[in-house]
Amino acid sequence: MYDVLIIGGGPAGITAAIYCARSNLKVALIDKGLIGGNPLNYLEIQNYPGLPGTTENLVDKFLEHLNQYDNIEQFQFEEIEYVDLDNKVVKTADNEFTGKKIIIATGSKPKMLNVPGEQEHIGKGVHYCAICDGPLYKDKRVAVIGGGNSACEEALGLAKICEHVYIIEYTDKLNAEQTTIDQINNTENTTVRLNTKVNEIFGGDKVEGLNYSNVNGALKVDLFVEGIFIYIGMSPNLPNLKYKKWNIGNLDEHFDTLGYLTTDLGKENCETKWPGVYAIGDIRSKRYRQVITAMSDGAIAAIHISKNI
């Protein structure tokens, strides 16, 4: 029995765990992978106050702080089988956890293009994490699909090691911060293709390139690259929720139209409409998703729990 079960060990979950531990609550921090979350997949984070630069330094500091508390038990590589929100039970392949409160901090996951050739080339030239797989393409030509902050920042990171980086964006402009766009415009080995859609990824055992056209389907062109990094957005990464009102495949009053968990914004407690269940970080329905906003959610939820347990 724990006071608080936290599902997800990213910045939001880590912050919530630390705040709960400081209130003398017994915490189980559960993650399907490594504790550290999405920052483990980024090349660098330049806007975290006091620690600009590589995410390795940032995550190391998170873990160093987390490990100071004996009343936080960390469980890594625990694949969630179901979460029973009625009885506050989390079942994994190897363990069953029971708590008084549950915090869902499972974040979000990359969206796929869903074009021919993508699925069969995952790990064979198609990637969703530049920090993980970018070094495989030193001095080679790659494409980044997407024009938001993540896509543009990863493109700049890849440009430092790759021969050339093509940035392919469906809309008529890049949607990143202006400072990032300026950096791209001043980087000689990057090329931006706007109003462009990917039709197909082709190759044999490995990616050989992609076919693209303008948004109305005209002017189809083959672009020969060896690596393709897809950054077209994220979708909520929910565990399997077992609840008497849960309808598989249907959204209800607990979710927004994109499938993110809604919370009582008026009270600013990050509590969902399920009593004693909280949603924090990128899994929560909100406007902005940044490391620092995720950590703010974690602090808010933990403070509310500590006063109501």
Q: What is the distance between the alpha carbons of residues 211 and 229, in angstroms, rounded to a whole number?
A: 15
Q: What is the distance between the alpha carbons of residues 107 and 237, in angstroms, rounded to a whole number?
A: 6
Whose tokens are 């055992």? That residue is 205
Where residue 38 falls among pLDDT bands split at 50, 70, 90?
A: confident
Q: Which residue ranges make up each domain of the chain?
A: 2-109+234-307, 119-230
Residue 76 has pLDDT above 90, yes or no: yes
Residue 133 has pLDDT above 90, yes or no: no
Residue 91 has what DSSP assignment? E
Taking residues 211-224, what's their average pLDDT? 90
Tokens of 233: 């957005």
Residue 8 has pLDDT above 80, yes or no: yes
Segment of 52-56, 157-161, 236-240, 285-289 carrying the highest mean pLDDT: 157-161
Q: What is the per-residue pLDDT across 260-282, written as a single tens digit (0 to 9) for each?
A: 899 986 678 999 988 899 999 99
Q: What is the per-residue pLDDT across 104-131, written as a single tens digit (0 to 9) for each?
A: 999 998 899 999 999 999 989 999 888 7
Taking residues 20-45, what's their average pLDDT? 89
Please, are residues 91 and 242 in contact by the beta-carbon 8 Å criterion?
no
Q: In 10 A of CB 293, how many CB atoms?
A: 18
Which pLDDT value is given to residue 268? 84
Tokens of 234: 């994220």
Where residue 189 falls among pLDDT bands split at 50, 70, 90?
A: very high
119-230, what's its fold?
Answer: FAD/NAD(P)-binding domain (3.50.50)
Choose the weakest-confidence range: 37-41, 126-130, 242-246, 297-301. 242-246
- Encoded amino acid at 104, one letter: I
Q: What DSSP string describes 214-244?
A: ETTS-S-EEE--SEEEE-S-EEE----EE-T
Identify the CATH assignment for 2-109+234-307 out of 3.40.50.150, 3.50.50.60, 3.30.465.10, 3.90.1200.10.
3.50.50.60
Choose the weakest-confidence range: 171-180, 217-226, 262-271. 262-271
Is 86 considered catalytic here?
Answer: no
Helices (H), the chain: 11-22, 55-66, 130-133, 149-159, 178-185, 291-307
Is 152 considered catalytic here?
Answer: no
Where residue 43 falls among pLDDT bands split at 50, 70, 90?
A: low
Which pLDDT value is given to residue 12? 97
Residue 175 has pLDDT above 90, yes or no: yes
Residue 248 has pLDDT above 70, yes or no: no
Which pLDDT value is given to residue 273? 85
Which pLDDT value is given to residue 226? 98
Q: Do domains 2-109+234-307 and 119-230 have the same CATH topology?
A: yes
Q: What is the distance between the alpha carbons of residues 126 and 201, in angstroms, rounded to a whole number?
A: 9
Catalytic residue among 132, 182, 222, 252: 132
Q: What is the distance between the alpha carbons of residues 14 and 63, in angstroms, rounded to a whole number?
A: 8
Choose the weakest-confidence range: 19-33, 161-175, 207-221, 233-247. 233-247
Taking residues 10-15, what's their average pLDDT? 97
Average pLDDT, the chain: 91
Q: What is the distance between the alpha carbons of residues 215 and 196, in angstroms, rounded to a whole number?
A: 5
Residue 249, Cβ density class (10 Å: 0-12 exposed, 13-18 middle, ≥19 buried): exposed
Side-chain-side CA neighbours of 217 within 13 Å: the count stands at 0
Q: What is the distance between the alpha carbons of residues 168 and 173, in angstroms, rounded to a whole number?
A: 10
Is 129 considered catalytic here?
Answer: yes
Which pLDDT value is given to residue 236? 92
Can you name the residues that pair with 277 across neighbouring β-strands?
102
Burial code (b: 16+ CB inside 10 Å, e: under 16) for 80-103 equals beebbbeebbbbbeeeebebbbbb
Q: What is the distance between the alpha carbons of residues 262 and 37, in angstroms, rounded to a whole number?
A: 21
End-to-end CA distance of the chain: 14
Taking residues 215-233, what's their average pLDDT? 91
Residue 210 has pLDDT above 60, yes or no: yes
